[in-house]
């Protein structure tokens, strides 16, 4: 079946989350001397591990969003044996700074624009409702689509079938007429394949382990996605 509907993931597919995250960490590192007791490299490495584990707990419903946002700084500092006194303030400053650095991944905006001229387009994202709405606003995504599905609003996260079934209903087309473009093999590609969709895996941000089931397209430059969709800029 020819494609009719294209859904995109947001973080690290359209919006450069990795860049905003590291630049924001650099900023809090320079701003809070307590963190400078360890190297920036050790700080980032520990934060990423702690944050990842907390996201798994959040995904399993063991902790809520506020706990995640607090604990990822508190636990990183505790693990690195530095004072946790200002962890709440540091977490707050991080979120403020993180927002300032939100920007498109290279070539992503042009590709989204070209895609919505030819197909119906939507966004499906995990992440915090409030933050994701602010990201849509900052990138002015409403110029390209008003269909934004935030999994937190459905009470489950990708790759849960409920997210993809809901998105299928909203698209109003057959399952194999939908393509999902995303960077996470475990959330986006597995979720899309299980839903009977076609999938395009963007691997430039972070390529995980060798996939068990191949996506219809694996790409690390948006020009490859445009070629796959027969799009002109």
Q: For Mg ion, which residue of 11, 16, 21, 177 counts as binding (CB under 5 A)? A: 11
Q: Which is nearer to Mg ion, 70 or 104 (CB)?
A: 104
**Angle, nearest 10°, between helix axes 65-79 and 40-59?**
140
Tell me the site size for Mg ion, rule CB under 5 A: 5
Residues 35 and 41: their CA atoms lie apart, in Å, by: 11
Residue length of the chain? 233
Instruction: Find the radius of gyration of the CA atoms of the chain.
Output: 18
Q: What is the DSSP letter of 35?
A: G
- Minimum CB separation of residue 10 from Mg ion in Å reads 7
Q: What tokens appear for 223 in the block?
A: 């020009």
Q: Which is nearer to Mg ion, 11 or 109 (CB)?
A: 11
Residues 6 and 197: their CA atoms lie apart, in Å, by: 10
- Minimum CB separation of residue 192 from Mg ion in Å reads 12
Q: Which is nearer to Mg ion, 11 or 177 (CB)?
A: 11
Residues 175 and 64: their CA atoms lie apart, in Å, by: 32
Q: Which is nearer to Mg ion, 90 or 105 (CB)?
A: 105
* Residues 85-104 interacting with Mg ion (rule: CB under 5 A): none
Q: For Mg ion, which residue of 3, 5, 8, 12 counts as binding (CB under 5 A)? A: 12
The region of 5-13, 88-96, 100-108, 166-174 touching Mg ion under the rule CB under 5 A is 5-13
Residue 16 within binding range of Mg ion, rule CB under 5 A? no
Residues 115 and 162: their CA atoms lie apart, in Å, by: 25
Residues 36 and 80: their CA atoms lie apart, in Å, by: 11
Residues 190 and 197: their CA atoms lie apart, in Å, by: 10
The angle subtended at Cα 110 by Cα 146 and Cα 196, nearest 5°, is 60
Q: Which is nearer to Mg ion, 90 or 197 (CB)?
A: 197
- Minimum CB separation of residue 220 from Mg ion in Å reads 14
Q: Which is nearer to Mg ion, 82 or 167 (CB)?
A: 167
Q: For Mg ion, which residue of 105, 183, 195, 229 counts as binding (CB under 5 A)? A: 183
The footprint of Mg ion (CB under 5 A) covers 9, 11-12, 183-184
């Amino acid at each position: 079946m020819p494609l009719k509907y294209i859904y995109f993931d947001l973080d690290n597919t359209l919006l450069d989350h990795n860049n905003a995250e590291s630049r924001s960490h650099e900023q809090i590192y320079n701003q809070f001397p307590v963190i400078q007791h360890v190297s920036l490299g050790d700080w980032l490495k520990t934060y990423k591990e702690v944050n990842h584990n907390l996201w798994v707990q959040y995904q399993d419903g063991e902790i809520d969003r506020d706990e995640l946002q607090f604990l990822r700084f508190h636990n990183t500092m505790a693990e690195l044996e530095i004072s946790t006194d200002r962890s709440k303030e540091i977490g707050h400053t991080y979120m403020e700074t993180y927002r300032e650095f939100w920007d498109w991944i290279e070539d992503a905006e042009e590709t989204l624009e070209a895609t919505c001229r030819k197909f119906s387009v939507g966004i499906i994202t995990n992440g915090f409702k409030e933050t994701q709405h602010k990201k849509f606003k900052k990138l002015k995504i409403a110029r390209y689509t008003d269909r934004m599905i935030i999994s937190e609003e459905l009470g489950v996260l990708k790759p849960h079938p409920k997210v993809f079934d809901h998105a299928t209903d909203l698209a109003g087309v057959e399952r194999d007429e939908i393509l999902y473009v995303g960077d996470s093999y475990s959330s986006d590609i597995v979720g899309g394949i299980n839903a009977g969709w076609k999938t395009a895996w963007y691997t430039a941000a972070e390529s995980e382990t060798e996939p068990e089931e191949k996506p219809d397209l694996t790409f690390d430059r948006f020009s490859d996605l445009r070629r796959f969709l027969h799009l002109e800029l």
